[in-house]
Amino acid sequence: MTDEELIREAFRARERSYCPYSGFAVGAALLCKNGRVYLGCNIENAAFSPTNCAERTAIFKAVSEGDTEFSRIAIVGGDVSKPVDGYAYPCGVCRQVMMEFCNPDTFEIIVAKSVDDFSIFTLKELFPKGFGPDNL
């Protein structure tokens, strides 16, 4: 799957965002090493703290279906009422969850404004010196 195709999937996921409180809609598409793709959106809550980010929704869907080996994730986010106009970087909690399952040197995080405007980082670039399973 190309970066562009994965970004398109993230935009599809964003359409399902449940964000009545922040108005910030996020979509993520997670590519597994076996080729499967899991979509995730942010899911907010009236009590605020139970809110789940799009990236974690996608990762938890994958793990709960038995897929734990990932190669890339595409993320798109912005004001729900407008086209995406900035890069939505994963929050610290999502970076920590990625650290649990992904190789920081090879897992790629794609932040996109559109299918032809995106940047790619390794997990290590966005989460240097992170704490993971290898530290225990």
Catalytic center residues: 55
Closest contact distance (angstroms) between CB of 5 and ligand THU is 21
With b for 16 or more beta-carbon neighbours within 10 A and e for fewer, the 37-48 pattern comes to bbbbbbbbeeee
Closest contact distance (angstroms) between CB of 75 and ligand THU is 7
Closest contact distance (angstroms) between CB of 109 and ligand THU is 10
Spatial contact of 31 and 73, defined as CB atoms under 8 Å apart? yes
- In the complex, the residues that contact ligand THU under the rule CB under 6 A are 19, 22, 24, 26, 42, 44, 51, 53-55, 90-91, 94
Nearer to ligand THU, 46 or 66 (CB): 46
Nearer to ligand THU, 51 or 96 (CB): 51
Q: What is the CA radius of gyration of the chain?
A: 14
> Helices 54-64 and 3-14: crossing angle, nearest 10°?
100
Nearer to ligand THU, 31 or 58 (CB): 58
